[in-house]
Chain A
Amino acid sequence: DAGITQSPRHKVTETGTPVTLRCHQTENHRYMYWYRQDPGHGLRLIHYSYGVKDTDKGEVSDGYSVSRSKTEDFLLTLESATSSQTSVYFCAISPGPGEGSYEQYFGPGTRLTVT
Chain B
Amino acid sequence: DQQVKQNSPSLSVQEGRISILNCDYTNSMFDYFLWYKKYPAEGPTFLISISSIKDKNEDGRFTVFLNKSAKHLSLHIVPSQPGDSAVYFCAASEGGATNKLIFGTGTLLAVQP
- Measured as residues with beta carbon below 8 angstroms from the partner, the interface class of chain B is 20 to 34
- A96 / chain B contacts, CB cutoff of 8 Å: 97, 99
B32 contacts A by Cβ under 8 Å = yes
CB distance from B17 to the nearest CB of A (A): 26
A97 CB contact (under 8 Å) in B42, B96, B102, B104 = B96
B98 contacts A by Cβ under 8 Å = yes
B95 CB contact (under 8 Å) in A45, A97, A105, A108 = A97
CB distance from A13 to the nearest CB of B (A): 20
| B97 & A50 in contact (Cβ 8 Å cutoff) | yes
| B93 & A50 in contact (Cβ 8 Å cutoff) | no
Question: Of all chain A residues, which has the CB nearest B47?
Answer: A103
Q: How far apart sit A31 and B34, CA to CA, in the bound complex (Å)?
A: 17
A-B contact count (CB 8 A): 63
Q: How many residues of A contact B (CB 8 A)?
A: 28
Stretch at the interface among A36-44, A66-74, A77-85: A36-44
Question: Of all chain A residues, which has the CB nearest B90?
Answer: A42
B99 CB contact (under 8 Å) in A35, A44, A97 = A97
- Which residues of A34-60 have CB atoms within 8 Å of chain B's CB atoms? 35, 40-45, 48, 50, 56, 58
Q: How far apart sit A42 and B59, CA to CA, in the bound complex (Å)?
A: 24
| B42 & A31 in contact (Cβ 8 Å cutoff) | no
Q: How far apart sit A28 and B113, CA to CA, in the bound complex (Å)?
A: 41
* Interface residues of B, Cβ cutoff 8 Å to A: 4, 6, 32, 34, 36, 41-46, 49, 89, 91, 93, 95-106
List 6 A–B pairs whose Cβ atoms lie within 8 Å, in order of A's numbering: A48-B100, A50-B98, A56-B98, A97-B97, A102-B101, A104-B46
Identify the 5 closest CB pairs spanning chains A and B, nearest first: A106-B43, A42-B103, A43-B103, A42-B105, A102-B32
Known: A44-B103, A97-B97. 4 other contacts (CB 8 A): A42-B105, A90-B43, A102-B32, A109-B42
